Amino acid sequence: MPQHVVIIGAVALGPKAAARFKRLEPDSRVTMVDRAKLISYGGCGIPYFVSGDVSDAVELQKTAFHMVRDEEFFHATKDVDVRTETEALSIDRAAKTVTLRHLPTGREETLGYDKLVLAMGSTPLALSVPGAQLRGIHAVHGLEAAQRIRALVSGGGVSRAVVVGAGFIGLELAVALADMWGVETTVVEFRDQILPGVIGGNLARMAQKHMEEKGVVFRLGEQVRAFEGGDGDRVARVVTDNATLEADLVIVAIGVRPNSALAREAGLSVSERGGIKVDDQLRTSDPDIYAGGDCVEIKHLITGSPAYLPLGSLANRQGRVIGTNLAGGASEFSGAVGSWCVKLFDLSAAGTGLTLAAAKAAGFDALSVLVSQLDRAHFYPDKGLMSLELVAERGTGRVLGMQGLAVMGDALVGKVDVVAALLPRGLTVETLSGLEMAYSPPFAAALDILNVVGNATENILAGRNRGIHVDEFAALWAARNGNGTYILDCREQANVTELLAAHPAHWHNIPQGELRGRLDEIPRDNTSVVLVCNTGARSYEAFVTLAHAGFKDVVSVEGGMTAVLAAGIQL
């Protein structure tokens, strides 16, 4: 029997659910409403519109075949009725109606539904500090806001910008401003690293260094206390704990919160942090009401706990699941591991699952292992560095997550996608070691970096190697005058000449190939031996040699000098 489906929200999930449902039940009717005038746009493309890479905002609203996804498009091609600039005021679950208000006219209307879909998305968190209402302070939310920012920078009136928040959107906007418009850009982040929560500190430092080399200034561990106006009601300065920063433009990107007030007021289950609760079929606590996208909470497939993951890729897939289930199907969306990727100038970052910190916070006895190496057969001319940090559980060897950085971004995303695909299926370090990866010199190394990071982690879990991270090395190095650390560089002598000359008391060199014959040069008493080489491969060999020779207090630096230099540690 034909149904009437009402969908609230028409950006990503709403349109997808509508189209899927109508293909399955062409005789049913769909009404989709949205507060905004512009709908069905690629919200993740906003930084590329601000940068100018995307010439016109309407491009974000187009299909791959250049048709604009407006009301008319949905009516003609999908047989879906769309009402824009229309707000949903309330849901009457008993009567199965929604009350709508057309914003330009104020006209209200009550619409009956057989099934309802909540796709209201999220709202950027605001900074509640003095001056927050000044002009020139923007959140990145919706096409209209993006158009305002773009108009400002392309008009030439912005020479200094402050971005508050070093998450995905903050960093993408910082790149857009600094790279394409030459704006002096400062990023203020109250936590002590960029990409907090999604990447470990060592990788974050490497990414930060790259962005600094491109001209972006970071102020980490600093909080914004106030905005100050200059000329009239325009922002002119950002006041933090430590500094006052001049700014013609401020972008606040400190996160989003789910739009769930409508659901809560209708008596649907909503979590403490505000996400609408849904089951595996994306039904809310009312079986006639579905919800998905940025307004819901889903299950994190590693921790098993509820998580809030506002990601466009999830919204699209959830839309199809809801479309199927509206038509009587039983499609499932069981949760997510939280895969992501972001381009930061010439470097790409990507990850999936838990970081080491998140894994520990979730109660796992976790460790992480860092590998840095050239991604490609090393003899192939076109190659670049890739660093992967694998997070695994001691004892079980279960993989909990992986994060990485690379020059070859697509290749990195490929590795992350492989791990993400296996994560919910009980991936172990051993499986990763043996994983079959396509190989040819222009694409990868004969022993793929995923196999390498699996092998390296397996060796550490089995006690055949003991690694320290770059930040631990940095701490040892900073305290080198007092801690009796013996740094042993296992590279060939030619690679070590400068370091030996600069730090004769602390830096030592025995090439790995000579180590077995020169063991008596290494002090045995009360000395920690720290092995380092180029990437960690030779220092692992050296570790095996020293362990076999009875040395007890030995560690090797994961990722080697490659990782040390990428993180910008001064030697």
**Binding residue for its own copies, selected from 379, 504, 526, 570, defined by CB under 8 A:** 379
**Binding residue for its own copies, selected from 163, 295, 369, 374, defined by CB under 8 A:** 374
Residue 180 CB, nearest distance to its own copies (Å)? Answer: 11
**Range 521-540, binding its own copies (CB under 8 A):** 533-535, 537-538
Strand partners, 399: 392
**Segment interacting with its own copies, rule: CB under 8 A, options 115-123, 255-263, 281-289, 447-455:** 447-455
Residue 23 CB, nearest distance to its own copies (Å)? Answer: 5
308 touches its own copies by CB under 8 A: no
Which CB atom, from 491 or from 508, has the smaller least distance to its own copies? 491
**Binding residue for its own copies, selected from 140, 444, 499, 555, defined by CB under 8 A:** 444
Q: Which single residue is written with the structure tokens 């996608």?
A: 417
Cα–Cα distance for residue pair 16/315, rounded to 1 Å: 9
Which CB atom, from 436 or from 525, has the smaller least distance to its own copies? 436
Residue 159's CB is within 10 A of a number of other CB atoms, namely 14
Q: Are strands 485-489 and 528-532 parallel, antiparallel or unpaired?
A: parallel
DSSP summary character for residue 382: S
Q: Which single residue is written with the structure tokens 């999936």?
A: 352
For residue 39, the Cα-to-chain-centroid distance in whole angstroms is: 25
**Binding residue for its own copies, selected from 190, 380, 486, 551, defined by CB under 8 A:** 380
Helix (H) or strand (E) holding 347: strand 347-353
**Segment interacting with its own copies, rule: CB under 8 A, options 226-234, 268-276, 431-439, 477-485:** 431-439
**Segment interacting with its own copies, rule: CB under 8 A, options 244-252, 284-292, 354-362, 542-550:** 542-550
Residue 99 CB, nearest distance to its own copies (Å)? Answer: 31
x-marked contacts with its own copies along 55-94 as a string, rule CB under 8 A: ----xx-xxxx-x-----x--xxxx---------------
What dihedral do alpha carbons 52, 53, 54, 57 form, nearest 10°? -30
Which CB atom, from 103 or from 544, has the smaller least distance to its own copies? 544
Q: Which single residue is written with the structure tokens 């009239």?
A: 232
Is the Cβ–Cβ distance between 183 and 249 less than 8 Å?
yes
**Range 187-216, binding its own copies (CB under 8 A):** none
Helix (H) or strand (E) holding 430: helix 429-434
457 touches its own copies by CB under 8 A: no
Which CB atom, from 42 or from 258, has the smaller least distance to its own copies? 42
**Binding residue for its own copies, selected from 39, 251, 350, 358, defined by CB under 8 A:** 350
Residue 535's CB is within 10 A of a number of other CB atoms, namely 21
**Binding residue for its own copies, selected from 157, 197, 267, 434, defined by CB under 8 A:** 434
Q: Please give the C-alpha separations between residue 306 and each of 115, 273, 296, 312, 314, in angstroms, as whole numbers.
A: 25, 10, 10, 18, 15
Which CB atom, from 129 or from 537, has the smaller least distance to its own copies? 537
519 touches its own copies by CB under 8 A: no
Is the Cβ–Cβ distance between 334 and 314 less than 8 Å?
no
**Binding residue for its own copies, selected from 7, 10, 12, 188, defined by CB under 8 A:** 12
Which CB atom, from 23 or from 273, has the smaller least distance to its own copies? 23
Pinpoint the alpha helices (H) of 258-347: 261-265, 312-326
Residue 411 CB, nearest distance to its own copies (Å)? Answer: 4
381 touches its own copies by CB under 8 A: yes
Q: How many residues does the chain have?
A: 571
Return the structure tokens found at 37: 């005038």
**Binding residue for its own copies, selected from 138, 141, 205, 320, defined by CB under 8 A:** 320
**Binding residue for its own copies, selected from 87, 114, 246, 417, defined by CB under 8 A:** 417
Longest CA–CA span in the chain (Å) reads 89
Cα–Cα distance for residue pair 442/540, rounded to 1 Å: 27
Residue 550 CB, nearest distance to its own copies (Å)? Answer: 12
φ, ψ at 240 (rounded to 5°): -110, -175
Number of residues counted as binding its own copies (CB under 8 A) = 102
122 touches its own copies by CB under 8 A: no
339 touches its own copies by CB under 8 A: yes
Residue 30's CB is within 10 A of a number of other CB atoms, namely 26
Residue 123's CB is within 10 A of a number of other CB atoms, namely 16
Which CB atom, from 157 or from 442, has the smaller least distance to its own copies? 442
Which of 343, 383, 320 lies closest to 12, judged by CA? Answer: 320
Is the Cβ–Cβ distance between 240 and 222 less than 8 Å?
yes
Return the structure tokens found at 445: 């190394």
Is the Cβ–Cβ distance between 75 and 82 less than 8 Å?
yes
**Segment interacting with its own copies, rule: CB under 8 A, options 22-30, 88-96, 193-201, 244-252:** 22-30
**Binding residue for its own copies, selected from 217, 362, 435, 569, defined by CB under 8 A:** 435
**Binding residue for its own copies, selected from 148, 264, 394, 464, defined by CB under 8 A:** 464
Cα–Cα distance for residue pair 400/117, rounded to 1 Å: 33
Which CB atom, from 77 or from 483, has the smaller least distance to its own copies? 77
Q: Is 496 helix (H, G, I), strand (E, B) or coil?
A: coil
